[in-house]
Amino acid sequence: MRAFAEMQADQRRARRLLNTAKGQIDGVVRMVDENRYCIDISNQILAAVAILKKVNKEILHAHLQHCVYEASEGEDRKEKLEEIAQILDTLMR
């Protein structure tokens, strides 16, 4: 099992990335309100999407290392593997 400090570091990093994405989305809203150039708005949206994809990847990685790993020795194994399979199906759409 991973150390508590390592899990906290993952949480702090995820929070920082989510706050960055939130700031970018707030910026996109302002750009739309200001009737800014469409391509500039689109580029900012793509940047926010990239950050959200990155944080999602990191959260899923942490889930695999922590929750699924621990469940692999217990009764929750099948449930945890099904959860990951569902997420992967969604990502592949």
CA distances in angstroms from 60 to 6, 38, 53, 87, listed in the order given: 15, 33, 11, 9
Return d(Cα 28, Cα 42) in angstroms, integer: 9
* pLDDT tens per residue across all 93 residues of the chain: 455 456 666 889 999 999 999 999 999 999 999 999 999 999 999 999 999 999 988 888 787 777 776 766 667 777 877 888 788 888 777
The pLDDT of residue 1 is 45
Q: CB–CB of 38/62 below 8 Å?
A: no
CATH topology of domain 4-91: Methane Monooxygenase Hydroxylase; Chain G, domain 1 (1.20.58)
Amino acid at 65: Q
